[in-house]
């Protein structure tokens, strides 16, 4: 590594209401940070029944749901259904259109992260699809007190099987107290951020002040990241995420993300008229909504 990236901006993600009765800490996608190319949203969510994210559409990007605690059951309008459990990841390509529900499963609180990765104009209308990786199948390795789970891309000699249409690196690091420094290469042309999940970390340079949970750190130019856990007794856990910037205009209306306002108008039309990928929404309602007796 020749030039470690430094922290250029820091945001504390405070809780806000989203979906129906759910709480999210939104870092990317809020007013002060509308878009960090190619990332549209980063939500750290916390939800317990009957709250959740009932039937809603997506078009033009991918959602990456990574569970930390509990579980989320998803169902879509094509009959694809499953439960994402702690440690599992669901990499969903909404492409031309998905309508689905995402609801907590079982008792207690379900917690996780949802990242929205934009798609280039060439990929916005691709067929929807899923990549679902169980916790036990996530590439993972440890050395000198540092453990990394490789959700996308590669780190410390291990590679994720996930196919990313927008080139993305997604790593979950756990750093024991007094562990060796984390030194992770990141492509110099990509945008990169870190998000602290627990404990405190020193990011970028050893003299920097430690940063605690729920903070998003935007990283500046460089070819990698160095991180230290200087705490005597607390484990540090953080995500390192990077992506190749798409460099195209973004037109967004909630869960529809296209390049122009005209394409957004066409998307609203398609959704309202059950066309161009939304055909199956006409006669569909999630079992979660049926169970709640919603008309
Ligand atoms: C939403 C559009 C959405 N953050 N974190 C509009 F897609 C959503 C939505 C989510 C979501 C779902 C999960 Cl499982 C986790 C999330 C937004 O489904 F809430 C609004 N208002
Ligand atoms: Fe969704």
pLDDT of residue 201: 98
Reported CATH class of domain 6-82+103-243: mainly beta
Mean pLDDT of 153-157: 97
The answer to whether 39 and 64 have CB atoms below 8 angstroms apart is no
Q: Give percent above pLDDT 70 in the chain.
A: 100
Residue 106 banded pLDDT, cuts 50, 70, 90: confident
Contacts of 93 by beta carbon, 8 Å cutoff, 6+ apart: 62, 119, 126, 127, 128, 129, 130, 165
Q: For residues 148 and 95, give the distance between their C-alpha atoms in angstroms, rounded to a whole number.
A: 29
3-state secondary structure of 291: helix
Kindly report, residue by residue over 159-201, the tens digit of the pLDDT: 999 999 999 999 999 999 998 899 999 999 999 999 999 999 9
Q: Phi-psi bin for 155: left (phi > 0), alpha (psi -120 to 50), beta?
A: beta
Q: Is 214 annotated as a binding residue?
A: no
pLDDT of residue 294: 77
Residue 8 banded pLDDT, cuts 50, 70, 90: very high
In the chain the first and final C-alpha atoms are separated, in Å, by: 57
- Smallest-distance ligand from the CA of 45: 1
pLDDT of residue 161: 96
The string over 32-50, giving b where at least 16 C-beta atoms fall within 10 Å of a residue's C-beta and e elsewhere, is ebeebbbbbbbbbbbbbee
Q: Tokens standing for 44?
A: 């750290």
For the chain, the structural domain boundaries read 6-82+103-243
Residue 292 has pLDDT above 90, yes or no: no
Q: For strand 168-175 and strand 146-152, is the pairing parallel, antiparallel, or unpaired?
A: antiparallel
Q: Which of 47-51, 221-225, 267-271 has the lowest mean pLDDT?
A: 47-51
Mean pLDDT of 256-260: 98
Residue 53 has pLDDT above 90, yes or no: yes
Q: Is the CB of 55 under 6 A from ligand 1?
A: no
Q: Give percent above pLDDT 90 in the chain.
A: 96
Residue 282 has pLDDT above 90, yes or no: yes
Q: Is the CB of 19 under 6 A from ligand 1?
A: yes
Q: How far is the CA of 8 from the centre of ligand 2 (A)?
A: 30
Partners of 77 in beta bridges: none
Q: Is 262 annotated as a binding residue?
A: no
Phi, psi values for residue 217, rounded to 5°: -115, 115
The answer to whether 170 and 152 have CB atoms below 8 angstroms apart is yes
Residue 102 has pLDDT above 90, yes or no: yes
The answer to whether 186 and 224 have CB atoms below 8 angstroms apart is yes
Mean pLDDT of 121-127: 98
Mean pLDDT of 244-268: 98
3-state secondary structure 209-263: CCECCCEEEEECCCCEEEEECCCCCCCEEEEEEEECCCCCCCEEECCEEECCHHH
Mean pLDDT of 204-233: 98
Q: Is 127 annotated as a binding residue?
A: no
Residue 15 has pLDDT above 80, yes or no: yes
Q: Is 263 annotated as a binding residue?
A: no
Q: Is the CB of 234 under 6 A from ligand 1?
A: no
| Threshold 0.85, pTM exceeds | yes
- Smallest-distance ligand from the CA of 103: 1
Mean pLDDT of 44-54: 96
Q: Tokens standing for 29?
A: 């996608």
Q: Is the CB of 66 under 6 A from ligand 1?
A: no
Residue 250 banded pLDDT, cuts 50, 70, 90: very high
The residue behind tokens 């006669």 is 283
Please indicate whether residue 289 or residue 73 has the higher confidence score (pLDDT).
Answer: 73
Q: Is the CB of 263 under 6 A from ligand 1?
A: no
């Amino acid at each position: 590594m020749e030039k470690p990236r430094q922290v250029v901006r820091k945001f504390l993600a405070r809780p806000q209401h989203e979906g129906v009765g759910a709480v999210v800490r939104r870092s990317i996608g809020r007013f002060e940070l509308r878009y960090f190319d190619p990332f549209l949203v980063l939500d750290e969510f916390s939800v317990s029944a009957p709250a959740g994210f009932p039937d809603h559409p997506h078009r033009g990007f991918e959602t990456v749901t990574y569970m930390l605690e509990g579980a989320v059951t998803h169902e879509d309008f094509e009959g694809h259904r499953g439960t994402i459990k702690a440690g599992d990841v669901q990499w969903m390509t909404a492409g031309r259109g998905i309508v689905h529900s995402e609801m907590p499963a079982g008792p207690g609180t379900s917690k996780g992260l949802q990242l929205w990765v934009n798609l280039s104009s060439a990929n916005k209308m691709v067929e929807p699809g899923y990549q679902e990786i169980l916790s036990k199948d996530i590439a993972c390795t440890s050395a000198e007190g540092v453990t990394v789970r490789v959700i996308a891309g590669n780190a410390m000699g291990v590679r994720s099987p996930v196919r990313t249409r927008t080139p993305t690196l997604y790593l979950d690091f756990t750093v024991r107290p007094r562990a060796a420094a984390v030194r992770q290469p990141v492509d110099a042309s990509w945008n990169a951020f870190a998000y602290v999940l627990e404990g405190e970390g020193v990011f970028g340079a050893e003299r920097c002040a430690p940063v605690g949970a729920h903070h998003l750190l935007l990283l500046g130019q460089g070819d990698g990241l160095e991180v230290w856990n200087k705490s005597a007794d607390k484990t540090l856990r953080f995500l390192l995420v990077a992506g190749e910037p798409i460099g195209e205009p973004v037109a967004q209306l909630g869960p529809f993300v296209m390049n122009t306002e005209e394409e957004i108008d066409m998307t609203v039309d398609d959704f309202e008229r059950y066309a161009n990928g939304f055909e199956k929404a006409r006669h569909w309602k999630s079992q979660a909504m049926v169970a709640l007796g919603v008309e």
